[in-house]
């Protein structure tokens, strides 16, 4: 066992009480200098260890790992989050969700990971998913709907995320069509919806939600520093990820039930009230063309309507959106 890990394990066991460098050195059978070096390394890696005068080292704050118990404590939804699979590290929660869904995972099953080594966005893009910093999860839903309605679930998820963030942090986030959640113009959440379907019926919807929660600016790679943000950066506080996860499940269940009972209209209204793009001048880049105009709203199918300068209305099913005003 590296000295570093031995030191950390003993400090955890001491639960905030100080232990001297001398004692640690004796217990681990190494020199006091080696202990001192290990503590320095741990501190530089972000572990909060205090040097207490004369008495030694103590843990300042325990790292808040996600636990099943804590997530369950905040859950009031019936099905979403009832079954949680929690991993320390995965390639992508989407990959595991696909496997679980193929093997019959029930509606509402959630896959959560502290870290993703190959987190993915849309169109083969990457999603940065650092260890312990975010909420990286995939929710398996099994609504009995036609495949053409599946994009609406992305919009329902976006509303649930905005509501969850608002409840837990007091911060008001906004939705950028179709799948980004922004705070003060910077991206804090991405949503990726994937499907397993028969000819035209949905078998499973894999709703991937990635939320930057505990990042400081330096935790993002260079290319994201100016476009990404986290809930901690926006609220100034270390946000409880377990509470955030469960709160989002609660809203997701509420809004997907509402959707199945009353259709998309109530969701559409909520969605538009949180949207940054509606009424704005935008550039929409689709796979085929670039359309410039004013975003007018979304249809009951979740399609974005854009009016160009000639007054022509374009229906946009999938695109990257840039706000120009």
How far apart, in whole angstroms, are the C-alpha atoms of residue 257 and residue 145? 13
How far apart, in whole angstroms, are the C-alpha atoms of residue 144 and residue 185? 35
110 burial level (CB within 10 Å; 0-12, 13-18, 19+): buried
- Residue 121 annotated as part of some ligand binding site: yes
The residue range among 102-110, 143-151, 184-192, 233-241 that interacts with ligand BTX, by the rule CB under 6 A, is 184-192
Among positions 6, 18, 121, 132, the unique one binding ligand BTX when judged by CB under 6 A: 121
Among positions 23, 122, 294, 296, the unique one binding ligand BTX when judged by CB under 6 A: 122
Structure tokens at 225: 């520093």
12, HSE (Cβ side, Cα atoms, 13 Å): 12
With binding defined as CB under 6 A, does residue 138 bind ligand BTX?
Answer: yes
With binding defined as CB under 6 A, does residue 109 bind ligand BTX?
Answer: no
With binding defined as CB under 6 A, does residue 177 bind ligand BTX?
Answer: no
Among positions 77, 109, 116, 275, the unique one binding ligand BTX when judged by CB under 6 A: 116
Among positions 24, 38, 94, 154, the unique one binding ligand BTX when judged by CB under 6 A: 94
How far apart, in whole angstroms, are the C-alpha atoms of residue 275 and residue 158? 10
Q: What is the per-residue DSSP string for 9-33?
A: HHHHHHTT--B-HHHHHHHHTS-HH
Q: How far is CA 289 from the centre of its chain?
A: 30
CB of 203 to ligand BTX, least distance (A): 19
Residue 162 region, left (φ>0) first, then alpha (ψ -120 to 50), else beta?
alpha
The residue range among 9-17, 152-160, 189-197, 255-263 that interacts with ligand BTX, by the rule CB under 6 A, is 189-197
With binding defined as CB under 6 A, does residue 125 bind ligand BTX?
Answer: yes
With binding defined as CB under 6 A, does residue 228 bind ligand BTX?
Answer: yes
How far apart, in whole angstroms, are the C-alpha atoms of residue 57 and residue 3? 15
With binding defined as CB under 6 A, does residue 52 bind ligand BTX?
Answer: no
CB of 89 to ligand BTX, least distance (A): 13
For residues 179 and 240, which CB has a smaller minimum distance to ligand BTX in the complex? 179
For residue 182, CA distances in Å to 93, 178, 231, 314 come to 22, 12, 10, 24
For residue 164, count other CB atoms closer than 10 A to its CB. 25
Among positions 8, 47, 57, 136, the unique one binding ligand BTX when judged by CB under 6 A: 136
Strand (E) or helix (H) holding 51: strand 49-52
CA torsion sign for 85, 87, 93, 97 is negative
Size of the site for ligand BTX (CB under 6 A): 28
For residues 123 and 287, which CB has a smaller minimum distance to ligand BTX in the complex? 123
With binding defined as CB under 6 A, does residue 120 bind ligand BTX?
Answer: yes
Annotated binding site for biotin: 116, 120-122, 187
Residues that bind ligand BTX (CB under 6 A): 92-94, 116, 119-123, 125-129, 136-138, 179, 187, 190-192, 208-210, 212, 224, 228
């Amino acid at each position: 066992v590296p000295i570093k890990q031995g030191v950390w394990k003993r400090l955890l066991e001491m639960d905030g009480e100080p232990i001297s460098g001398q004692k640690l050195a004796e217990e681990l059978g190494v020199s006091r200098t080696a202990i001192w070096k290990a503590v320095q390394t741990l501190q530089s890696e972000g572990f909060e260890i205090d040097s207490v005068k004369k008495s030694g080292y103590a843990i300042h704050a325990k790292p808040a790992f996600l636990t099943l118990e804590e997530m369950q404590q905040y859950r009031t939804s019936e099905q979403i989050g009832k079954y949680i699979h929690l991993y320390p590290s995965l390639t992508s929660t989407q990959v595991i969700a696909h496997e679980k869904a193929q093997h019959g995972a029930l509606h509402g099953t959630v896959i959560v990971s502290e870290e993703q080594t190959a987190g993915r966005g849309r169109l083969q893009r990457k999603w940065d998913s650092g260890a312990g910093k975010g909420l990286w999860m995939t929710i398996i839903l099994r609504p009995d709907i036609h495949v053409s309605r599946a994009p609406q679930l992305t919009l329902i998820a976006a509303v649930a995320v905005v509501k969850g963030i608002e409840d837990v942090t007091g911060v008001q986030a906004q939705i950028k069509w179709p799948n980004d959640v922004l705070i003060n113009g910077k991206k804090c959440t991405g949503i990726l919806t994937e499907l397993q379907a028969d000819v035209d019926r949905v078998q499973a919807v894999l709703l991937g939600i990635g939320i930057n929660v505990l990042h400081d600016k330096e935790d993002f790679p260079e290319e994201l520093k100016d476009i990404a943000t986290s809930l901690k950066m926006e609220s100034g506080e270390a946000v409880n990820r377990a509470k955030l996860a469960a709160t989002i499940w609660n809203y997701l269940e509420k809004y997907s039930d509402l959707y199945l009972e009353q259709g998309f209209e109530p969701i559409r209204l909520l969605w538009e009230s949180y949207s940054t793009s509606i009424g704005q001048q935008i550039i929409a880049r689709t796979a085929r063309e670039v359309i410039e105009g004013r975003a007018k709203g979304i249809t009951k199918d979740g399609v974005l309507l854009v009016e160009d300068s000639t007054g022509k209305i374009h229906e946009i099913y999938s695109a990257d959106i840039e706000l120009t005003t």
